[in-house]
Structure 1
């Protein structure tokens, strides 16, 4: 029985129209006086903490707890300010899939496995009216390694459900090869969706159990009926 579905955020649930990257860039300028500090950095599938650590390393900034705190305090303020100014959207099929999962006879717990820090995730999903769907999660301020934060999300879900979850009871939904790797690292099945930065061909190389162009291509019953 399907008991837990974990979703990535950016490129899977929503597209922010570049607001997240812009908030990172402006934080680098406003807090650390670094122009174009994020140039050539790859954001896809990364944790916020690992991105900030790379930014610090590139520009000789000590990666101290105080500097991480400075960065993220400014970042979440800017993110909240910038989201309404960018043309973002909920990805196709998301609303119907979430509603369908909740309407199943035995609805699974819905959670997040995301590189966003928790407050950043909340700001983004509240802006698009999705935050209330999710009960548990693993976030970028839980661990820098995406695989570890996926394990954290599964552990939190197990405590919530008062029992250990079997791998066959979990599905991870994401738009990057990293998300597929995270699913398989905990023994879960992966639903890859090509609404983010990765192509179908790149996603297929990681052998997800499902691969779709967008989430309009399947229904909740398609997921609950396997495993």
Structure 2
């Protein structure tokens, strides 16, 4: 039985028309003078901190705490602006899943496992009135590596439950190969959804427990009680 459910955000819970990537690009241009800063960077499934460090390396900018702080202060301001001006929404099945998880006889802890910094995650989810649905989470502030973030998220779930979790008592839901990889890193079960840039057929070779077009194709009860 699943006792902890961890959701990715971008491409899994919500779509934002690339607001985060566009906010990165705007800050790269405005504060670091690099107009094509995102062209060589891959965003899907990666952490904000990892992406920023790669940008600094590519452009011979010191990855100093001061530069990191300056970037993220500007980024969260720009992200909020982008989210207000660009189309976006909650992916199919997400709202029902969150409702159904709360209705299970033995309700699991519901949390976040995301490459967003915490404030970025909060801004995105508040935009779609989802932030209050989650009891815990781990973020790019906690670690630059997604596998480490997964381990931290599992540990925080254990702290709330007051007991250790076996891997098969944890369910990760995500839309990229890196979501599948970090789930396997902590021994968790995983649902791969095709609501991001990858289709289920692209994710099936990585052997998730389920690969579906969206969360309408699988029930919370089936996934958590089986």
TM (norm. structure 1) is: 0.98
Partner of residue 118, structure 2:
118
SS at match of 1:156: helix
The alpha carbon displacement at 1:223 in A equals: 1.0
Partner of residue 177, structure 1:
177
SS at match of 1:208: coil
Partner of residue 220, structure 1:
220
Q: Distance in 1 between matches of 2:104 and 2:220?
A: 8
Pairing 1:209–2:209 present: yes
Pairing 1:157–2:157 present: yes
The alpha carbon displacement at 1:29 in A equals: 1.1
Partner of residue 128, structure 1:
128
Q: C-alpha offsets along residues 70-111 of structure 1, whole Å, 9 cap, x if unaligned?
A: 000000010011101011110111000110011111111000
Number of residue-to-residue matches in the alignment: 226
The alpha carbon displacement at 1:16 in A equals: 0.7
Q: Distance in 2 between matches of 1:153 and 1:72?
A: 22
Q: C-alpha offsets along residues 143-175 of structure 1, whole Å, 9 cap, x if unaligned?
A: 111011000000011111111111111000000
Pairing 1:36–2:36 present: yes
SS at match of 1:191: strand
SS at match of 1:35: coil
1:98-113 matches, within 5 Å, as: 98-113=98-113
Q: CA contact under 8 A between 2:193 and 2:211: conserved in structure 1? A: yes
RMSD of the TM alignment (CA)? 0.8
Q: C-alpha offsets along residues 22-55 of structure 1, whole Å, 9 cap, x if unaligned?
A: 1000010111111111112110010000000011
Q: Distance in 2 between matches of 1:33 and 1:178?
A: 30
Partner of residue 144, structure 1:
144
Point out 4+ residue stretches in structure 1 off by more than 3 angstroms.
Answer: none
Farther-moved stretch of structure 1 (200-209 vs 60-69):
200-209
Partner of residue 45, structure 1:
45
The alpha carbon displacement at 1:12 in A equals: 0.1
The alpha carbon displacement at 1:62 in A equals: 0.2
Q: Distance in 2 between matches of 1:147 and 1:29?
A: 30
Unaligned regions of 5+ residues in structure 1, if any?
A: none
TM (norm. structure 2) is: 0.98
Partner of residue 24, structure 1:
24
Q: C-alpha offsets along residues 132-153 of structure 1, whole Å, 9 cap, x if unaligned?
A: 0111111011111101100000
Q: Distance in 2 between matches of 1:123 and 1:182?
A: 24
SS at match of 2:206: coil
SS at match of 1:137: strand
